[in-house]
């Protein structure tokens, strides 16, 4: 066992490792990224009806039974499993659709968007820094383990992203966008969303085809997670991803 798992403690962003906090997300981690898993902690009262311990055995990953570990990482009483894993970064696909999130600031929204993307079979998410912590256990919890089934790549700025993935047609979602999602034709797309507070700045009006989601005059905008979900659904249907 490595020093990393011996020194389990409350998560901090500068750690080289992170934690899952549920049996479901840990099973997703074990199925998709076993090479990054250091150990799995379970409470003595854990009843394994999801095959987690067998999966650990087949992947040669240590299972440690300990109540103390849960207090050290500040997990709630209803948490029975912690997966300890090393942080990693993926490359996005050159030939599959993307979601590009520019400076997302809320971990709950980030995890929810990743889960929604996985649900619509969009498996690549670009994250433009600065951004909420992708590997914070709160983000992982919000994604319900979908984080481990989606490729995520970080970029210092949007220009860095578009220079690497030139073939993707860009669709920034903006309050003053020029077209509706229904007007977009099937293509190799990248849906671009700004953060929760400010959205995308006006420089994005000159990038790709800007999209506006129609809404009534009873609200001034949608929550980022809702807007991203609407956009992803329409583009997924149009591009026959489902």
For the whole model, what pTM was predicted? 0.93
- Is the four-CA dihedral 20, 25, 26, 32 of positive or negative sign? negative
Provide the pLDDT for residue 104: 97
The tens digit of pLDDT for each residue in 18-43 reads 999 999 999 999 999 999 999 999 99
Which of 3.30.930.10, 3.40.1280.10, 3.40.718.10, 3.20.20.70 would CATH assign to domain 98-238? 3.40.1280.10
User: CA 57 from chain center: how many Å?
Assistant: 27
Instruction: Calculate the average pLDDT of the chain.
Output: 93
* CA–CA distance, 17 with 13 (Å, rounded to integer): 9
Q: Cα–Cα distance between 180 and 235 in angstroms, integer?
A: 11
Cα–Cα distance list, 72 to 19, 37, 204 (Å): 12, 19, 44
CA distance 187 to 97: 9
Are domains 3-86 and 98-238 of this chain identical in fold?
Answer: no
Average pLDDT (94-114) is 97
124 — pLDDT class (breaks 50, 70, 90): very high
Give tens-digit pLDDT for 57-79. 999 999 999 888 888 887 666 88
Per cent of the chain over pLDDT 90 is 85
Number of residues in the chain:
242
Beta-bridge partners for 15: none
> For the sheet containing 63-65, what is the strand order?
17-20, 81-86, 37-42, 63-65
Residue-wise pLDDT for 139-184, tens only, equals 999 999 999 999 999 999 999 999 999 999 999 999 999 999 989 9
| Spans of all domains in the chain | 3-86, 98-238
Q: In the 8-state DSSP scheme, what is residue 211?
A: B
- Which CATH topology does 3-86 take? 60s Ribosomal Protein L30; Chain: A; (3.30.1330)
Check pLDDT > 50 for residue 5: no
Dihedral angle sign, alpha carbons of residues 101, 107, 112, 115: positive
Average pLDDT score over residue span 218-239: 94
């Amino acid at each position: 066992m490595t020093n990393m798992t011996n020194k389990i403690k409350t998560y901090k962003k500068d750690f080289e490792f992170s934690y899952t906090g549920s049996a479901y997300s840990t099973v997703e981690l074990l199925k998709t990224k076993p090479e990054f898993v250091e150990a799995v902690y379970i409470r003595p009262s854990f009843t394994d009806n999801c095959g987690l311990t067998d999966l650990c055995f087949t992947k040669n990953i240590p299972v440690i039974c300990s109540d103390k570990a849960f207090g050290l990482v500040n997990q709630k009483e209803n948490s029975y499993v912690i997966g300890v894993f090393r942080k990693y970064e993926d490359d996005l696909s050159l030939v599959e659709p993307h979601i590009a999130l520019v400076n997302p600031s809320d971990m709950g929204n980030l995890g929810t968007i990743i889960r929604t993307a996985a649900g619509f079979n969009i498996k690549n998410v670009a994250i433009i820094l600065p951004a909420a912590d992708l590997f914070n256990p709160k983000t992982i919890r919000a994604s319900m383990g979908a984080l481990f089934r989606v490729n995520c790549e970080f970029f210092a700025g949007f220009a860095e992203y578009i220079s690497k993935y030139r073939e993707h047609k860009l669709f920034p979602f903006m309050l003053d966008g020029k077209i509706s999602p229904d007007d977009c034709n099937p293509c190799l797309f990248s849906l671009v969303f700004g953060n929760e507070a400010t959205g995308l700045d006006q420089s994005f009006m000159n990038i790709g085809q800007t999209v506006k989601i129609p809404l009534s005059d009873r609200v001034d905008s949608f929550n980022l997670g809702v807007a991203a979900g609407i956009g992803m659904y329409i583009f997924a249907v149009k591009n026959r991803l489902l």
